Amino acid sequence: MRRVGILGGMGPQATLLLMQKIIDAVPATDDADHIPLLVDQNPQVPSRIRRLIEGTGEDPAPVLADMARRLVAGGAEALAMPCNTAHHYAPAIRSAVKVPFIDMVDLSVTKAAKLAGLDGQVGILASPAVRRIGLFDAALARFGVRALYPEDEAAMLGAIRQIKSGGPGPEAQAVLRDASNGLLRRGAFVQMIACTEFSLVTEATAKEVVAFDTLDVLVEAIRDFATARGRSTGGAK
C-alpha cells in the first residue's frame, strides 16, 4: 500500500466524509487491509470564497504549499485534496513537492465528458467561485462539452455557508434540489456535484439526471493509487 496525504479542512466535515468513503471503498478483513493516510485537517486555510469571490481574503496558495510539504515530509507518496475550489491553487501544490497530485478536477472532467458526449452539456453544482474562475470550463471545452451553472448564485453560496456552519440541513437540500432541477430544465441531463459541502446532501439532486460526486471520483483514484504497487494511475501528476 502506498501512503496518500490529504490536504483537508476545506471543510472539516468533507474531509471526514472522504476518509469514510475511502474506508468503505476497500474490501478489508483486517485493519492492515486499509489504505494508509496522512491527513492535515487544517480549517485555517484562508477562505477561498473571500479570496475568489469577494477579492478581500488572504491567498490560500502559500498555506496549501506548506501543507503539501509537511505531508510529503511525513511520508506521503501522493497528495489529494477534497475541495474543488481549492484546485485553483493546484499549481502551487505541484510546484512545492515532487510527489504526484491526484487531480479531482481533471478526473471528474474526463468522467463528465464521457457521460455527456460530444456537444453535450454538464451541470456544475458548485460554489459560485468555481464559475468565476472557470475551473471546469476550459477542460470540458477540450472534450466539446459545455458547462452550465445554477442561475441563483446567492442561494448556492448561502447553502454552502449553512452547511459549513450548521451541517447538512433541509434548507441546503432544498437549494441543491432547486438548482439541479433548474439545470435539468436547461438541458443538463449530466450533473456534477462539485462542492464537497454538497457531497453531504447528494440525495437532493433531481431524480431524472445522471449525477455523480467529484468526491467519489477522488476516492476511486486514491484507492487505485494506493493499491497500484508501482503502476501509474490516471489523474495523478
List residues with catalytic annotation. 83, 195
**Coil, strand or helix at 4:** strand
Q: Among candidates 155, 206, 202, 199, which has minimal Cα distance to 185?
A: 206
Pairing outcome for strands 146-148 and 78-80: unpaired
Cis peptide leading into 11, omega within 30 of 0? yes
Q: Among candidates 35, 43, 28, which has minimal Cα distance to 1?
A: 35
Can you say whether the dihedral through the CA atoms of 145, 147, 148, 150 is positive or negative? positive
Q: Among candidates 47, 37, 38, which has minimal Cα distance to 11?
A: 47
Exposed/middle/buried for residue 200 (C-beta within 10 Å: 0-12, 13-18, 19+): buried
**Coil, strand or helix at 210:** strand
Contact 210, 180 (CB under 8 A): no
